[in-house]
Amino acid sequence: MPSASALPEPLAEALDAGLALMQLDSVHPDQRQLLIQYVLLLQRWNSTHNLTAVRDPLEMISRHLLDSLAVLPFLDAGRVADIGSGAGLPGIPLAICRSTQAFTLVEPASKRVAFLRSVLAELGLSHVQVVPTTSEKYEPEKLPDILISRATAPLARLDAMTIHLQGPQSRVLAMKGPGVEEELADWPRAAALELRCHDLQVPGSPLRKLLIWTNPLQMP
């Protein structure tokens, strides 16, 4: 793992500038170092494992790190499950900045699972675990307090994939790009939910949306 002095300065500068614009100055310098180290690991593994279409580590700062961390102000306390985590997005950046919360990265693809486990070991993220399965087959002993998804599936499909994980107090955070209106129109259960929609302003990226809902209390 590179030392702080060995971290590429342009990456650190881009991260610092982006966090300042997003008013996330509370991210500690040690956490910023871990975020950059995560990007370097992603770049290294990506050359042989094709984990993300983004190849330039500087572009990864905005497209991956800042995009993931835009959710930070909306992330309450409790157990977090990152559904379809892929290369660990948004779960790993969020977990780096929330070291007292338990995170579970749910990901079925074996090459991504191998990468995630390597990241957790190299960065010392002992509060994060990887579950190598699909969300439909994920059956935790305790339901997550928060389910989060970064463009894993259309809203109706995401809801169906995770309905067994949504307890009466669970909160679902779905990060979406353009086309969310069409997804809402194709999701009949949306009418029964109190949906909140927030704009996510990420420097260097198009406007994103964050949809939040809580599963209705189950009646006896």
32: left (phi over 0), alpha (psi -120 to 50) or beta: alpha
pLDDT in tens, 88-97: 999 999 999 9
8 Å CB contact between 153 and 179: no
Q: Domains of the chain: which residue ranges?
A: 65-214
Binding site as annotated, residues? 84, 89, 135-136, 150
Q: Which CATH architecture has domain 65-214?
A: 3-Layer(aba) Sandwich (3.40)
Backbone angles phi, psi at 211, to 5 degrees: -100, 135
pLDDT in tens, 149-195: 998 999 999 999 999 999 988 999 999 988 899 999 999 999 989 89
Nearest to 71 by CA among 52, 97, 51: 97
8 Å CB contact between 21 and 203: yes
Task: Please tell me whether the overall predicted TM-score, pTM, comes out greater than 0.85 for this model.
Answer: yes
Whether pLDDT at 25 is above 60: yes
Binding site as annotated, residues for S-adenosyl-L-methionine? 84, 89, 135-136, 150
pLDDT at residue number 7: 56
pLDDT in tens, 85-128: 999 999 999 999 999 999 999 999 999 999 999 999 999 999 99
Whether pLDDT at 219 is above 50: no
